[in-house]
Structure 1
Amino acid sequence: MKVTWAYDRGDHRDTHQVDITDPTALDRLLRQIHERDEPVVVTIYDEPADDTDLPPGVQVGLGHATHAFVVHITDDGGYDTDPDVPAPATAISFDLGGVPTEYPADHLRLRPETAIQKAVDSL
């Protein structure tokens, strides 16, 4: 699996990409990214088999203290949510490919720990 993420640094994008096949290594990486306290979208996907824009996988929003998201990149994909987690008061901006992008509060109804576990389970 490819794992990519990027931060907007004003004058440049701080872009990262790694190959991971081990769930333990993915768990460790996602926790390290989250602990930076910089909201960022991490994209996890298989190598593309053709020229599609984005192959099937998941995107995980990490780095916010209390809220996260997981969205499935598939034809019938969608956001995972936990009905027991209240939405934040407002949208939260996460760096998506180094571009600050606001995510609606209703999509942010996961705790970071849950989002990490769901991402690892997708491997």
Structure 2
Amino acid sequence: MKVTWTYDRGDHRDNHEVDVTEPAALETLLGEIHQAGEPVVITIFSDTTDDPDDLPPGLQVGLGHPTHAFAVHIAGTGGYLTDPTATTPQRGLHFDVGGVPTEYPAEHLRLRPETAIQIAATFVRSDGAPPHVPETSK
């Protein structure tokens, strides 16, 4: 699967793209991105679309904030995943999306970073099956 993310560097965009086939390699990569402490949206997908402005089916994960993250399944029946045991931040948080700082509402940020990483690894392991919050998180 392809994994992409971009940071806004003011005078330029810092684009990244890697191919990942092993869930453990993805967990390591996402852990490193998260530890950098720069909130960013990572897109994970296997298929491309004909329209470069359309998101391909896949998963987006927001990491880099110390305590809050998100995961959203990009598909016709997809949506944001939430862990009922995770606290909701008091306000929305900004994440870089394709190099554009974007605010995500608090209600979409109901995952812990380690849970979002686990969801992403399972998504790769299952070859793109619809993601879910692991039972161990609940």
TM-score w.r.t. length of structure 2: 0.86
Q: Aligned to 2:78, what secondary structure does the other structure show?
A: coil
Hey, what's the Cα distance between the residues in 2 that align with 1:46 and 1:14?
22
Contact 2:47 2:57 in 1 (8 A): no
How big is the shift at 1:47? 3.0
How big is the shift at 1:73? 0.4
Match of 1:51 in 2: 50
Hey, what's the Cα distance between the residues in 1 that align with 2:87 and 2:29?
26
Q: Which runs of 5 or more structure 1 residues have no equivalent in the other structure? A: none
User: Which structure dedicates a bigger proportion of its chain to strand?
Assistant: 1
How big is the shift at 1:84? 1.1
Aligned residues: CA RMSD = 0.8
Percent of pairs with identical residues = 65
Alignment of 1:1-123 (within 5 A): 1-48=1-48, 50-52=49-51, 53-123=54-124
**Displaced runs of 4+ in structure 1, greater than 3 A?**
none
Q: Aligned to 2:55, what secondary structure does the other structure show?
A: coil
How big is the shift at 1:45? 0.2
Corresponding residue pairs, total: 122
Contact 2:41 2:96 in 1 (8 A): yes
How big is the shift at 1:109? 0.4
